[in-house]
Amino acid sequence: MTSHQSTQTMKPATAAKKLGVYLEATPAEFREGVVSRAELNELQANPPQWLQDLRLNGPHPRPVVAAKLGVSIAGLARGGVTEPLTTEQIEALKQEGPEWLERERATQAEVRKESARIKKKNAERQA
């Protein structure tokens, strides 16, 4: 029996998600092809200039925007943020400190605190 490994590939959207970048901002050759697991690993290990620029300046996808603002993705939607934002726009939002952002950050803090409480309770139960 011979074993040959087929090359795992993924759609550009999946690769962009794994890289934490907004697909529409990536180069055309990235969006139009398929990405192998080896290519993804290489992009992560040695990011080309376009990937470094996207990660630094954006536009960033919603999960990244939410993380940078310290809120949930649903919190972004409740705050009316539905489009990708650049790093500059995110920083401006932080400086402005709109009421919805403060409210969503407080909500997120409560969620984290409750999750930690439940995790601790379950750990005590296991012990």
Query: If you average pLDDT over residues 65-84, what whole number do you get?
Result: 90
> Is 124's pLDDT higher than 90?
no
Proportion of the chain above pLDDT 70, given as a percent: 95
Which pLDDT tens digit goes with each residue over 24-41? 999 988 888 888 898 999
**What's residue 91's pLDDT?**
93
Q: Could you tell me the CA-to-CA distances from 1 to 5, 6, 7, 8, 93 in Å, in that order?
A: 13, 15, 19, 21, 60
**What's residue 1's pLDDT?**
46
**What's residue 58's pLDDT?**
85
pLDDT range class, residue 97, cuts 50, 70, 90: confident
Beta bridge partners of 36: 9
pLDDT range class, residue 127, cuts 50, 70, 90: confident
**What's residue 59's pLDDT?**
92
**What's residue 90's pLDDT?**
92
